[in-house]
Amino acid sequence: MANITKKVSWSSRADDSAAAAAAAGEGTPLLNGSEQPRSFRQHAAGGSLFQIGRLTTVELEEEVTADEDSLRGQAREIPHTEKLLSLKYESLDYDNIENQLFLEEERRMSHMSFRCLEISRWVVCGLIGLLTGLIACFIDIAVETLAGLKYEVIRRNIENFTETGGLSISLILWVGFNAAVVMLGSILVACFEPIAGGSGIPQIKCYLNGVKIPRVVRLKTLVIKVFGVICSVVGGLAVGKEGPMIHSGAVVAAGVSQGRSTSLKRDFKMFEYFRRDTEKRDFVSAGAAAGVSAAFGAPVGGVLFSLEEGASFWNQMLTWRIFFASMISTFTLNFVLSVYHKKPGQLSNPGLINFGRFEIESLEYSFYEIPLFIAMGAIGGLLGALFNFLNYWLTIFRIRYVHRPCLQVMEAMLVAAVTATVSFTMIYFSTDCQPLAPENSEEYPLQLFCADGEYNAMATAFFNTPERSVRSLFHNQPGSYNPLTLGLFTLTYFFLACWTYGLAVSAGVFIPSLLIGAAWGRLCGILLASISSSGSLWADPGKYALIGAAAQLGGIVRMTLSLTVIMVEATGNVTYGLPIMLVLMTAKIVGDYFIEGLYDIHIKLQSVPFLHWEAPATSHWLTAREVMSSPVTCLNRIEKVGTIVDTLSNTSTNHNGFPVVMQVAGNDEPAKLCGLILRSQLIVLLKHKVFVELARSRLTQRKLQLKDFRDAYPRFPPIQSIHVSQDERECMMDLSEFMNPTPYTVPQDTSLPRVFKLFRALGLRHLVVVDDENRVIGLVTRKDLARYHLGKHGLEELQLAQT
Amino acid sequence: MANITKKVSWSSRADDSAAAAAAAGEGTPLLNGSEQPRSFRQHAAGGSLFQIGRLTTVELEEEVTADEDSLRGQAREIPHTEKLLSLKYESLDYDNIENQLFLEEERRMSHMSFRCLEISRWVVCGLIGLLTGLIACFIDIAVETLAGLKYEVIRRNIENFTETGGLSISLILWVGFNAAVVMLGSILVACFEPIAGGSGIPQIKCYLNGVKIPRVVRLKTLVIKVFGVICSVVGGLAVGKEGPMIHSGAVVAAGVSQGRSTSLKRDFKMFEYFRRDTEKRDFVSAGAAAGVSAAFGAPVGGVLFSLEEGASFWNQMLTWRIFFASMISTFTLNFVLSVYHKKPGQLSNPGLINFGRFEIESLEYSFYEIPLFIAMGAIGGLLGALFNFLNYWLTIFRIRYVHRPCLQVMEAMLVAAVTATVSFTMIYFSTDCQPLAPENSEEYPLQLFCADGEYNAMATAFFNTPERSVRSLFHNQPGSYNPLTLGLFTLTYFFLACWTYGLAVSAGVFIPSLLIGAAWGRLCGILLASISSSGSLWADPGKYALIGAAAQLGGIVRMTLSLTVIMVEATGNVTYGLPIMLVLMTAKIVGDYFIEGLYDIHIKLQSVPFLHWEAPATSHWLTAREVMSSPVTCLNRIEKVGTIVDTLSNTSTNHNGFPVVMQVAGNDEPAKLCGLILRSQLIVLLKHKVFVELARSRLTQRKLQLKDFRDAYPRFPPIQSIHVSQDERECMMDLSEFMNPTPYTVPQDTSLPRVFKLFRALGLRHLVVVDDENRVIGLVTRKDLARYHLGKHGLEELQLAQT
């Protein structure tokens, strides 16, 4: 019972700092501290003696949990600020647990079995690419068909009523249809799987960063995501269908690579070796890349996206497999769509979004245009920062007040109705009539009040799926739009898109950003042409539309390298590499000066312990001793079952990793570190009752194998579901065989950047801090590192909260 | 003197295994063991007592060194086999030495100074890109001008003599000119800087992998490389000017980032912060990327090349800077060449090699062509393997017998003469006359025996710089070549290129590979067109030339992802992404079945301790205890100067890192690890006489700063050049302030893959193995890890040798 005394919450520091903050009367108060019974504060109030006593029986604990659950239903007004770090997220474990079982298995495996494993990894990646591509096809075809139907019906209706004068009926039809479809999508998301909302890119970024976001890679999420995005786009919201593809690809990867579906309760007995965090995360990066690839026809961009977001350790074979998945994905999409469009073999649809083919002549640029591009980048950065700023406040508002599903659905319907109304009004009052040229490829030309043989230019922007509008802005002949139309469109669409992102619908922000940028970019091009004397110089506003689109997208999402490559691949031409890079870089620098990127804002508002690339530059004076959590709950190499159950049941700490120590018999010295064991492993051990006494009495008992751990992965049962009798509590458990015998350790004087580097490069979950006698003095986890960040006044520390 | 007893060579194991190998009479005998006096064997023969006694005075040691140097001149017949691992290469240290000086400096730095540092990193990258681009321009313009002159003169000469019948004079002129120019290039390389030979890609791969290749990033190497490559290409060898650009970029980066030139003895007092391995290696990756970018107009490909070869830890900001350097490089090249070609602003020369513009129609491919592409990939893999196999034997032959500069120059001249002769013969006997169309863009059309208005098709392939030949094969009209011409050309050029690679000239293998591939690829296209009934289907042999080029290049160099992107970027069109990837993958799989890639072969033949991505799959049963070198020479925290001098002077071990241990006073327990110090640091300390006694007597003495270490970087003086008097030998040195107090450690039971992962991910140079009392029991270095590799019969261990 040596370590019972050590059972003090890791959160003790957060507790202190929260108390200090409250005392000083500054900062955001930790509202949840008083509202949420789960938080550490109430336990702490009971004093540590009570706490320890309370935990000696599991029954009592279960009661408390039930209590808490009933209370939790009420406390939904979660205070969100970016100054908090949530304790509810767990880490993925990218480090292999090299326990005896694992080593034995690896030793048994021949060279040939490793080959087979490698081949099955390739097969899995191929499947990921194939399925992701097929999902993209499904979304594309569904959206095109349904949106086509919708626009056709409404267009006919408008045409009918233009002369007779009942256009308000058309408006009602349009608004009603949009609101209904969006309601459907929103109900799916808000009531069944909130995690499927939004683009999913922030969630996937977090997952690849190593944070376990609950339910993010489940089958249910995928299904709701797919149908949700179809509803959003068909419902005419200012959204794109591309962002969600990345999430979809990731879910496909997580599913396929495990060879089973826990939701469907089917186990295909395949790929069992891949049932652990390390392998799964690798496949999820491949899936995300396949998603990007299918969305933008950008396989290389997809690989770069995955690497930029996820892979802290670059491995050549892994990269190559990711690339393979991406290629298969874009190829599948291309092939199926070519068959669907009845041009089999003509592979001209590499991605969901198709920027269309830029004429080589129109793409050439001159040296003196580069400053103009940079200026446009700066504009994009400014507008992007404004967008993010507005969305930031909107999101905080939503978190505070719009958190009930019915409210969320209603908001989504409201946005849908407003979008349709605004669009209609803009089109109605627009006087920008353009001749309907024979080569003009407008899908749904609206004549409205224009003369015969002409169409309403505003309608090409509003009365269309966003993808088509982007393409029109890039490629329509010079003169297709007049400047006023573009200006008004930019203005309204900017606010609509900003309002839309963050609604409880699944939808991406890529295409709206591109659309806003393309509109003002084209406007810039037209203005430049009008102020310069020789009109031929700036003949092509489409070029400026492209640059504007890049600038706006860069200003909003700030994805840098992968974004450059995605844009270049989507245009299908490498000529524009340098300008696009310059523009994106300028947009990023300008935007970063004001506010972070959109995805980062949303990650911060979720209080996710996200690890950046490096420790803050000025953090060299912090050492592991100051950063670590301590004291640590340690377990003995041979430990009493009761102690283990109590430790696991301790909801106030909820530890996931326990250093295993060895007490030298008859020696009073503190125990030395000899391994590390995870909660999940202990749960499996308890479930299978791997007790020393039982092993002695039942010699024939089957030895626990790695397979048992894999079967339980990833949904390990909670400790409350495991029944341990009072007799069994007196048994002993030998952890030697199951613990990781060589956990990574650092001495206590190690500087934070050094700890950070080790932690990040190896994707660790727990890093043990030892003194020079190899005794455990602390544990560094993701939260301890993510807490520090560089604020305006130097290094700042985030507060931990149980949100 | 506690650790004097520990002074046993790390190489003891190598010694044993070598002895064992010799005893068993198997394997390649370690010839150098008996021939090279520097090797450990002779010292070992003297017994350890003699060894220790011998090293007590520095003077004696210097004498011995002089002896050795004179002997070294003779022992040049180095036995090379890929089963050896040389001990002569040192590691780069990617890990920061976080000693007190460093931490103090970092703490003194404000947030602003870190910003400035970041900005200067960008400036350096910009400069790297700019200079690399300019060098590429210089090479391009020089080659074009000189080659143009040469071909014009010879063409006139041939035309003159075609009718009069003295063509043998033309032949002699051609052969003579080529041989003379190649002689010049070869003398430069062979006599002045052998490391400048070849493409430099294997060397840069090693450098980025973390191996310090002597003299590889010096200014002299760059100058010789640039002039050498001009001579090689102008001399008509079957080489390209692209590969060497990567090396050039790397040298530029290493030079610019240090803000000084040790060769020119100029210090600009800039960028002093970057004078350490970590920063320098980051910049060298940027330089290599800029080189690729300038060579192929492939900025993204360049970034991927750098990452694939070098950056084990992917960092977003670093990647972004690398990309910036690449972009600037290709842009500079583009801009300068556009001015040179008198079309300023028309940026159409992104790289040295220009594949020309593929017509979009001709690039489209159908689904059923994919199996054909894969088959061509397999052919490329086979031919590549054959190429590598021949070159492997040739290289071994060269290492054994052609190692004197004069022989090397003669061989190069011979190859030049043979190349010219063969070309002439082929052209002479060719009967493939093609009409000289007006749109035909042949630079030097040779009429020879063709009718008026016709030209010799064989001459477009042979009588041209290889870059132009590739372009002609890609783009010339169908029917420009007849199959026999292409077949003969492929055959002869294959052997010429194979013979050429590895000569003592600086030259790349990219373009010859592309050329061979383009020739047989075009041949495939023509044959396919002739066997299929409808000629229009396979109308464009240029497409097959492209695929063939990719297949051949992939079969020879096997660079996978970056190569795909380079090819895609060089064609300027993303449509061909999937076929190129499939082809390269097939070529790699097929080729790898037989033999490694060309660069890997050359790296192995140099016995470089190259670390691959992962430890061999079946190495889980090996632990750190078995892998490490032991016993280790440790130093005390406060150590006698004499002991340090003796340790450093010990040439039989030549250690570079020393664990620092602390003996608890009055305690007999073994000492505990408390830090790690490098040879280079000790040298600086000795040079500045940082002794405890002196510090006491001269209180005003300036404290040693980080600057002193930076000034000495990277060419630290040898220990022999530092004079330590007998009195000073009795002084003490306090290492606490200078050692790295928190070196990474692993317990002795850690498995090899785990050690490997830590070592590779963090770019370590020394990894201390400790027992559970934190006592040093061994040291893992690069050589200990690189020794293990997966052979045909499972895990194999390479022998260490002092070559």
- How do residues A661-672 score in pLDDT, each as one tens digit? 987 666 666 688
pLDDT at residue A468 is higher than 70 = yes
Above 90 in pLDDT, residue A60?
A: no
Number of CB atoms found within 10 A of residue A152's CB: 12
Strand blocks (E) in A39-130: 84-86, 90-91
pLDDT at A122 over 80: yes
Nearest to A565 among B300, B613, B744 (CB): B300
Predicted confidence at residue B361, as pLDDT, reads: 57
pLDDT at B18: 40
Q: Which of A393-397, A700-704, B153-157 has the lowest mean pLDDT?
A: A700-704
Please tell me which residue of chain B has the smallest CA distance to A319.
B561
Top pLDDT among A454 and B372 is at B372
Among residues of chain B, what percentage have pLDDT more than 70?
Answer: 83
Instruction: Let me know if B393 is exposed, middle or buried by CB neighbors in 10 A (0-12, 13-18, 19+).
Output: exposed
- Ranges A376-385, A791-800, B755-764, most confident: A376-385
Q: What is the mean pLDDT of chain A?
A: 80
pLDDT band at A803 (very low <50, low <70, confident <90, very high): low
Given a contact cutoff of 8 angstroms between Cβ atoms, the answer to whether A226 and A248 are in contact is: yes
Nearest to B320 among A330, A561, A621 (CB): A561
A749 touching chain B per CB within 8 A: yes
pLDDT above 60 for B79: no
How many Å apart are CA A200 and CA A355, to the nearest integer?
23
Q: Give Cβ neighbours of residue A69 (< 8 Å, ≥ 6 apart).
A: none
For chain B, say whether A397 makes contact (Cβ under 8 Å): no
Lowest-confidence segment of A573-577, B309-313, B639-643 by average pLDDT: B309-313
The whole-number pLDDT of residue A665 equals: 63
Q: Are A377 and A554 in contact (CB under 8 A)?
A: yes
- Residue at A159: amino acid letter: E
Tokens of B279: 């920063």
Residue A95: closest C-alpha in chain B: B754
User: Which range among A192-201, A281-290, A577-586, B705-714 shows the weakest confidence by mean pLDDT?
Assistant: B705-714
Interface of A with B in 545-584 (CB under 8 A): 560-561, 564-565, 568-569, 572-575, 577-578, 581-582
Task: Report the C-alpha gap between A659 and A675 in whole angstroms.
Answer: 6
Q: What is the mean pLDDT of residues B355-362?
A: 65
When pLDDT is averaged across residues A146-165 and rounded to a whole number, the result is 85
From chain B residues 320-359, the ones with a CB under 8 A of any chain A CB are 320, 323-324, 327, 330-331, 335, 344-348, 350, 357
B301 and B265 Cβ atoms separated by less than 8 Å: no
C-alpha–C-alpha distance, residues B240 and B199, integer Å: 9
Please check whether residue B365 is in contact with residue B543, taking contact to mean a CB–CB distance below 8 angstroms: yes
Query: In sequence order, what are the residues at sequence separation of 6 or more whose Cβ sits closer than 8 angstroms to the Cβ of residue A367?
Result: B335, B344, B345, B347
Q: Residue A290: what pLDDT?
A: 95
Tell me the mean pLDDT in the region B226-232.
Answer: 94
Q: Which residues of A touch B673 (CB under 8 A)?
A: 772
Contact B327 A577 (CB under 8 A): yes
Q: Which amino acid is at B235?
A: G
Residue A449 near chain B (CB below 8 Å): no
Separation CA A301–CA B300 (nearest Å):
10
CA–CA distance, B630 with B7 (Å, rounded to integer): 10
Choose, out of A316, A359, A769, the residue to mutate when testing the contact with B (most B CBs < 10 Å). A316
Q: Does A593 touch chain B (CB under 8 A)?
A: no
Cβ of B577 within 8 Å of Cβ of A327? The answer is yes
DSSP letters of A722-762?
Answer: S---HHHHTSEEE-TTTSBSS--EEETT-BHHHHHHHHHHH
**Backbone angles phi and psi of B646, in degrees to 5:** -60, -45
Position B40 confidence tier, pLDDT thresholds 50, 70, 90: very low
Distance CA A305, CA B248 (A): 30
Gap between the Cα atoms of A214 and A86, Å rounded: 13
Omega prior to A79 cis, within 30 of 0: no
Low-confidence winner among A759-773, A776-790, B224-238, B266-280 (lowest mean pLDDT): B266-280
B-chain residues near A114 (CB < 8 A) = 617-618
Which of B297, B613, B742 lies nearest to residue A315, judging by beta carbons?
A: B613
Question: Of A647 and B30, which is predicted with more confidence?
Answer: A647
Chain A residue numbers with beta carbons less than 8 Å from the beta carbon of B739 are: none
pLDDT of res. B391: 95
Contact B284, B313 (CB under 8 A): no
Amino acid making up residue B257 = S
Please answer yes or no on whether B303 and A561 come within 8 Å at the CB atom: yes
Segment A460-479 mean pLDDT: 82
Q: Which whole number is the average pLDDT over B502-516?
A: 91
Q: Which of A194-203, B283-292, B361-370 has the lowest mean pLDDT?
A: B361-370
Residues A25-44 have pLDDT tens digits of: 333 333 333 333 333 333 33
- Whether A758 has its CB under 8 Å from any CB of chain B: the answer is yes
- Number of A to B CB contacts under 8 A, please give it: 214
Work out the average pLDDT over B571-580: 76
- Alpha-carbon distances of A434 from A465, A485, A538, A546, rounded to whole Å: 20, 12, 21, 22
Q: What percent helix, strand, coil does chain B show, rounded to 5?
A: 60, 10, 30
- Tell me whether 0.90 is exceeded by the ipTM: no
Cβ distance A561 to B316 less than 8 Å, yes or no, reads yes
- Mean pLDDT over residues A691-703, rounded? 68
CB nearest to B741's CB, from A300, A347, A749: A749
Which residue does chain B place closest to A331, by CA atoms?
A: B578
* From A317, A751, A773, residue closest to B773, measured CB to CB: A773
Cα(B653)–Cα(B771) distance, rounded to whole angstroms?
Answer: 23
**Beta-carbon contacts of residue B434 (< 8 Å; ≥ 6 apart):** B450, B454, B455, B456, B457, B479, B480, B481
Q: What does DSSP assign to residue A712?
A: H
Which residue do the tokens 């240090």 mark? B258
Would you tell me how many other CB atoms lie within 10 Å of the CB of residue B161? 16
Taking residues A111-125, what's their average pLDDT? 89
Q: Report which of residues B534 and B38 the model is more confident about.
A: B534
E strands within B167-323?
211-212, 260-261, 266-267
pLDDT for B76: 42
Task: Encode pLDDT of B602-638 as tens digits.
Answer: 988 888 888 888 888 888 888 999 999 888 888 888 8
Arithmetic mean of pLDDT, A50-72: 36
Burial A74-99 (b: 16+ CB within 10 A, else e): ebeebbbbbbbbbbebbbbbbbbbbb
Cβ-proximal residues to B270 (8 Å cutoff; 6+ apart), any chain: B259, B260
Low-confidence winner among A342-351, A461-470, B2-11 (lowest mean pLDDT): B2-11
Distances (CA, A) of B510 to B199, B331, B499: 9, 22, 15
Contact B617 A114 (CB under 8 A): yes
According to the model, what pLDDT value does residue B131 have? 96
- How high is the pLDDT of residue B496? 93
Q: Which residue would you say has higher pLDDT here, A370 or B65?
A: A370
A14, A342, A628, A659, A782 from A633: Cα distances, Å: 17, 65, 13, 7, 17
Lowest mean pLDDT among B184-188, B445-449, B765-769: B445-449
Spatial separation of the C-alpha atoms in residues A760 and A611, rounded to whole Å: 8
- Span B373-395, average pLDDT: 95
B772 contacts on A by Cβ (under 8 Å): 672-674, 774
Tell me the pLDDT of chain B averaged across its residues: 80
SS3 readout for A625-673: HHHCECCCCCEECEEEHHHHHHHHHCCCCCCCEEEEEECCCCCCCCCEE
Please state the rounded mean pLDDT for residues B727-734.
Answer: 87
Measured in whole angstroms, the distance separating CA B738 from the mean position of its chain's CA atoms is 33
Minimal Cβ distance to B620: which of A106, A312, A568: A106
**Token digits for A51?**
């706490």
* The pLDDT value given to residue A19: 40
B780's tokens: 């893992």
The whole model's pTM is what? Answer: 0.86
Confidence of residue B67 (pLDDT cuts 50, 70, 90): very low
What is the CA angle B500-B553-A562, rounded to 5? 130
Assess contact for A239 and A233: CB atoms under 8 A. Answer: yes
Residue-wise pLDDT tens digits, B668-708:
666 888 899 998 889 888 888 888 877 766 655 567 788 88
Where residue B347 falls among pLDDT bands split at 50, 70, 90? Answer: low
CA–CA min distance B771, chain A (Å): 9
Q: What is the pLDDT of residue A103?
A: 85
Going by pLDDT thresholds of 50, 70 and 90, the confidence category of residue B421 is very high
pLDDT reported for residue A71: 40
Chain B hits for A749, Cβ within 8 Å: 741-742
Of the two residues B17 and B466, the one the predictor is more confident about is B466
Give the lowest-confidence range in A161-165, A179-183, A582-586, B615-619: A161-165
For residues B105-117, give the mean pLDDT: 84
Ramachandran assignment for A265, one of left (phi > 0), alpha (psi -120 to 50 degrees), beta (any other): left
Q: Are B365 and B547 in contact (CB under 8 A)?
A: no
Asked if B299 and A577 come within 8 Å (Cβ–Cβ), the reply is yes
